[in-house]
Chains A and B, each alone.
Chain A
Amino acid sequence: MTYFPEEVVERIFDFLATHRDRNAVSTVCKTWYRVERLSRRSVFVGNCYAVRPERVVARYPRLRSLTVKGKPHFADFNLVPHDWGGFALPWIEAAARGCPGLEELRLKRMIVFDESLELLARSFPNFKVLVLISCEGFSTDGLAAIATYCRVLRELDLQENEMEDRGPQWLSCFPDSCTSLVSLNFACLKGEVNAVSLERLVARCPNLRTLRLNRAVSVDTLSKILARAPHLVDLGTGSFTIDHRAEAYHKLINNFIKCKSLRSLSGFWDATPRCLPAVYPICGNLTGLNLSYAPAIQGADLIKLIRQCSKLQRLWVLDCIGDKGLAVVANTCKELQELRVFPSDVYGEGIAAVTEEGLVAVSSGCPKLISLLYFCHQMTNAALITVAKNCPQFTRFRLCILDPGKPDPVTNQPLDEGFGAIVQSCKDLRRLSLSGHLTDQVFLYIGMYAERLEMLSIAFAGDSDKGMVYVLNGCKNLRKLEIRDSPFGDAALLEDVGKYETMRSLWMSSCDVTLGGCKTLAAKMPRLNVEVINEMDESDELEENPSDLHRVEKMYVYRTVAGPRNDAPDFVWTL
């Protein structure tokens, strides 16, 4: 291969689809390294502190697409202080200097300021795609900058961000000349938008395929938009409330009927049962449906709707669908690949909406199911064993029993056997979240069987250090391990320190790890950042020089070639 001209080698590399493969070929020899880096178009940085932005930009000057992730996953559940870090600015600045051809930027769990967005908008003339997921720190002013300066913007995708609303003007900042939009998602925006601007924008973008509105957009506006854009493929409704006797309702139905390409529906805020029939005409074509923002739609109406969605591949619902509703899903949605059942009654004792029964039904009726997120009030080993037998093809299995540490209610046993069956049967399992009463035994099973496991989430589980050690010793593909409220201490942490360099990160909170243990780890492994997060609200002990025996409340360990970070706030100690 070294006798080929570099252009040829470059063409060959074009066929490499994954980051992993491209990373691999770059290590073969200096020539390949050079060819690879100069032809690399897309880079994925799983941890923004693992490498310096300048380094990335220097190595890949011809970068077109950059993806960066910031805070650890548990930040989603408020376990990470907001100002822990994960700033987007350094990345945008570096890219502005080194990769002027950047076209796509995707950020997850990062802090993005309006200034950063403005810099982004002005620095890249060819900028096409901006995706912000679970980010914070920006406002509609930042969006206005994007709208104003990104002349060829194709995608603006805002998912689950915390953003400040400074008025509806941003949408009007899209110039009349902007006709390139393919995807626009502002569902997480809390404020109003100008309906007329929105309609006009939709009307002048003939390639628009994805449109997700926010709650503030009325059904009236939705109806008009549908009339203008019947070619939509993915629609997120705004507030879905309408008097079903009114003429507007019939107009809405007619407009829906015209949307022959519609394949995915979401939104449905404030939807009531009587509004649902508006979407019946298109249900038969749907491959994706998200009703998880509509708590007023209860079992019977959900069932009526789902009975018509035989092509569904992805379904997100609230647990008011009930076991009965899940049985209907099992009977109807034979193409189902991903199911998410969210809790609707988080704190109340209420009626247990879904139990193990619903899950078993879906597992037996949906042969293509590979991804699951399931919140329920109880689970049994027998059910999990059945599910494991029915669905050996799971790649993502996240089960959350709402009561922490709850055992199998029938046998009173821990759920070790059930989860054990899952990991044993599902050879391709890449992601697993555990819950319920679990002993070290389940970790033994995971270590033994979960060969492909990349991400494991543990909460209120295990008896001793052995549990964690089983996992670290066994799961050779483990990339992310996050643990909370489990009795794992220094012995487990220090058992195999080299392991952490093969992983992206380790999070431990409310465990038994001490400051001394963390210091030891940091001393042994210079290429790891061992961060101890001390939120000093009540405990006075944790002032200056706390004892090494002191238990650490939150610890985040990650491999890095960038050394300790220079933007850590006071309460984060990098040891």
Chain B
Amino acid sequence: MQKRVMEEDFRKGEGRPQLLHLIPNERDWMVKEVGGGGKCFGVSKEKKLELRLGLPGGEDWSAVNDKREEHPVEPALSLGHYSKVSKTTGSNPSSVGAKRGFLDTVESKTEVFQQQQQHQPGFLQLQAKGKELSQKTNGRAEQQSLEKKASGSPVAHGSAAAPCGDAAGANNSSQTSRTATTPVVGWPPIRSFRRNLASTSKPSLESWNGGSETAVKFENGRKGLFVKINMDGIPIGRKVDLKAYDSYEKLALAVDELFQGLLAAQRDPLTAGIQKNPEEKQAITGLLDGSGEYTLVYEDDEGDTMLVGDVPWGMFVSTAKRLRVLKSSELSATSLGAVSRKRTAT
């Protein structure tokens, strides 16, 4: 019973302490939200707060409230902040610009708040690359942010968000560059084992998604599996990362790409070095089915030469030690014997 009475009093605003007026007038809507939430935290507690305030310098509440009314939008402290920012960026113009720009924000701020109330904020819009500050769809704001982008310098041009944005933008630009430079020590506040976790696993994500599962220990997967590949007639070998592919077809395509140019250069030394002419290059086809001029074979961990494509992809990846692109006519001579032996064995 008592509690309900207290609640009503609270709602009527009798028990409501002056503290909430610390929030500037433009933000009445915030006060309403919190107060009207219907949750009663006990009037006595609020009263206790009133009495207890211990602001430095022994200021009392009325003094604080007066201050609030003088600067309805931003407390004086924020200006102090801007000059702090300019201190860190070390450029005088920006601090002057920031102060000038601050006044502009007074008018535009209400606009922004109203916008926030009217439209459901499109938070996803804000995720622009390079952490640019994006604005709500408001002609003026857009124009100004465009201006800001055009200017490119930290000096404010009186655009709405720009001054804070530039002051913060100066901050921001140093922040965007922060990601390119060495990270701050001990930031973000996560344990070291979490730091390494994400970065080591990332590169292999592409090969997992949609790829065939393999029984291979994931330890290997993360580092990439590079094997040498040589092609008949080409003195210089290359390397391929087997982990980057999930099927024989893709591997064959990659091999084709890898050696096409080299092969063409071998055939006609004169064209080597000249800008590639795609039509003149011949694709290396039929690597897997023996139908082409070349065939792809590999050496497995037992030293045997096998036809690429014989075993399931996963097993291939885990046992292949090196690859060779042989002339199909050469196959029958030596290696095929080993291949057929292997086949009957399995």
Expressed in whole angstroms, the minimum distance between the Cβ of A60 and any Cβ of chain B is 33
Is B192 close to A, CB under 8 A? yes
Instruction: Tell me the residues in window 485-511 of chain A with beta carbons closer than 8 Å to chain B beta carbons.
Output: 485, 487, 495
* Nearest-neighbor residue (CB-CB) of A445 within chain B: B22
Whether a CB of chain A sits under 8 angstroms from the CB of B307 is: no
A459 at the interface (CB under 8 A from B): yes
Residues of A within 8 A of B130 (CB): 349
Asked if B197 contacts A410 (CB within 8 A), the reply is no
| Residue in A296, A411, A463 whose beta carbon sits within 8 Å of that of B109 in the complex | A411
B336 within 8 A of A: no
State the Cβ distance, A475 to closest chain B Cβ, in Å: 11
A residues 397-448 in Cβ contact with B at 8 Å: 400, 402-407, 409-414, 417, 420-421, 424-425, 427, 433, 437, 439-441, 444, 447-448
The reply to whether B123 and A417 contact each other, CB–CB distance below 8 Å, is no
A76 touches B178 (CB 8 A): no
Residues of B within 8 A of A425 (CB): 34, 37
Residue picked from B127, B184, B192, B215, most chain A C-beta under 10 Å: B127
| Cα of A449 to Cα of B46 in the assembled complex, Å | 10
A412 contact set on B, CB distance < 8 A: 105, 133, 161, 164-165, 168
Q: Are A355 and B126 in contact (CB under 8 A)?
A: yes
Q: Chain B: which residue is nearest A295 at the CB level? A: B201
Bound CA–CA A433/B178 (angstroms): 22
> In the complex, which residues of chain B have a beta carbon less than 8 angstroms from the beta carbon of A388?
34
The segment from B75-83, B236-244, B284-292 found at the interface with A is B75-83
A411-B77 in contact given A160-B193, A349-B130, A459-B189 (Cβ < 8 Å): no
Does A61 count as interface, using CB distance less than 8 angstroms? no
B41: chain A residues at CB < 8 Å are: 427
Interface residues of B in 1-42 (CB under 8 A from A): 19, 22-23, 27, 30, 33-34, 37, 39, 41
B80 close to A463 (CB less than 8 A): yes
**B188 to A375, Cβ gap below 8 A?**
yes
> Are B179 and A349 in contact, CB atoms less than 8 angstroms apart?
yes
Cα-based distance from A421 to B34 in the complex (angstroms): 8
Contact A411 B218 (CB under 8 A): no
Q: Which of B49, B121, B168, B198 contacts A410 (CB 8 A)?
A: B121
Q: Is the CB of B179 within 8 A of A347?
A: yes
Cβ-based interface call for B303 (8 A): no
CB atoms of B198 and A346 under 8 A apart? yes
Can you name the residue of chain B whose Cβ is closest to the Cβ of A249?
B213
| One of B51-59, B246-254, B337-345 contacting the partner | B51-59
Is the beta-carbon distance between A343 and B188 smaller than 8 angstroms?
yes
Give the CA-CA distance A60 to B208 in the complex, in Å: 57
Complex contact B198–A318 (CB within 8 A): yes
B264 interface hit (Cβ, 8 Å):
no
Closest Cβ neighbor of B54 among chain A residues: A473
- B218 pairs with A403, CB closer than 8 A: no
Whether A372 is near chain B, meaning CB under 8 Å from some CB there, is no
User: Do B187 and A348 have beta carbons less than 8 Å apart?
Assistant: no
- Indicate whether B112 reaches chain A with its CB closer than 8 angstroms: yes
Which of chain A's residues has its CB closest to B37's CB? A389
Docked-complex contact B134 and A274, CB < 8 angstroms: no
* Closest beta carbon of chain A to B323's beta carbon, Å: 24
> From B29, which residue of chain A is reached at the shortest CB distance?
A385
A177 CB-CB contact with B under 8 Å: no
**Interface-side segment among A118-126, A376-384, A543-551:** A376-384
Asked whether, in the complex, the Cβ of A410 is within 8 Å of the Cβ of B136, the reply is yes
What residues of chain B lie closer than 8 Å to A77, measured between beta carbons?
186-187, 189-191
The digit string for A527-545, where 1 denotes a CB below 8 A from any CB of B, is: 0000000000000000000
**B267: chain A residues within 8 A (beta carbon):** none
Interface-facing stretch out of A19-27, A225-233, A236-244, A559-567: A236-244
Instruction: Indicate whether A568 reaches chain B with its CB closer than 8 angstroms.
Output: no
**Beta-carbon contact of A406 and B218 below 8 Å:** no
A138 contacts the other chain (CB 8 A): no
**Known pairs A79-B185, A79-B186, A441-B75; A355 contacts B195 (CB<8 A):** no
Q: Which residues of B contact A470 (CB under 8 A)?
A: 55-56
Contact of B34 among A404, A424, A439, A447 (CB under 8 A): A424
Do B164 and A323 have beta carbons less than 8 Å apart?
A: no
Q: Residue B183 contacts which of A347, A356, A392, A464 (CB distance < 8 angstroms)?
A: A347
Residue of A with least CB distance to B105: A412
Q: Which of B37, B109, B123 has the most CB of A within 10 A?
A: B123
Contact call B121/A406, Cβ cutoff below 8 A:
no
A404 and B191 contact, CB distance less than 8 A = no
CB pair B55–A473 under 8 Å, yes or no, is yes
Instruction: Say whether B27 contacts A417, CB under 8 Å.
Output: yes
B311 at the interface (CB under 8 A from A): no
Q: Given that A295-B202, A427-B41 are contacting pairs, would A380 and B34 also be in contact in the complex, using a CB cutoff of 8 Å?
A: no
User: Smallest CB–CB gap between A502 and chain B, Å?
Assistant: 14
Compute how far the CA of A464 lies from the CA of B202 in the bound complex, rounded to whole angstroms: 41
Chain A nearest CB, measured from B8 CB (Å): 19
Q: Determine if A74 and B186 form an interchain contact, defined as CB atoms under 8 angstroms apart.
A: yes
Knowing A77-B190, A392-B39, the reply to whether A272 touches B208 (Cβ < 8 A) is yes
Is the pair A414, B213 in contact by a Cβ cutoff of 8 Å? no
Decide: A246 near B77, CB < 8 A? Known: A79-B185, A409-B134: no
Q: Are A439 and B77 neighbours in the complex by a CB distance under 8 Å?
A: yes
17 intermolecular pairs with C-beta atoms under 8 Å apart:
A77-B191, A243-B214, A270-B218, A272-B213, A273-B209, A351-B127, A355-B127, A382-B121, A410-B116, A412-B105, A421-B34, A439-B81, A440-B80, A451-B49, A464-B80, A473-B55, A474-B54
User: What residues make up the interface of B, taking CB atoms closer than 8 Å to A?
Assistant: 19, 22-23, 27, 30, 33-34, 37, 39, 41, 45, 49, 53-56, 75, 77-78, 80-81, 84, 105, 109, 112-113, 116, 121, 123-124, 126-127, 129-131, 133-134, 136, 161, 164-165, 168, 171-172, 175, 178-179, 183-195, 197-199, 201-202, 204-205, 208-209, 213-215, 217-218, 314
- Please give the residue numbers on chain A whose beta carbons come within 8 Å of chain B beta carbons, in ascending order: 74, 76-79, 134, 160, 188, 239, 241-246, 270, 272-274, 292-293, 295-296, 298, 318, 323, 342-349, 351-352, 355-357, 375, 377-378, 380, 382-383, 385, 388-389, 392, 400, 402-407, 409-414, 417, 420-421, 424-425, 427, 433, 437, 439-441, 444, 447-449, 451, 457, 459, 463-464, 466, 469-470, 473-474, 484-485, 487, 495
8 closest residue pairs by CB, A with B: A77-B186, A412-B164, A270-B218, A357-B123, A352-B127, A473-B54, A344-B198, A295-B201
Q: Assuming A77-B190, A273-B208, A343-B188, what are 14 further A-B pairs, CB within 8 angstroms?
A: A76-B191, A296-B205, A347-B179, A356-B123, A400-B189, A403-B175, A405-B175, A409-B131, A411-B113, A441-B75, A448-B19, A449-B19, A464-B77, A495-B56
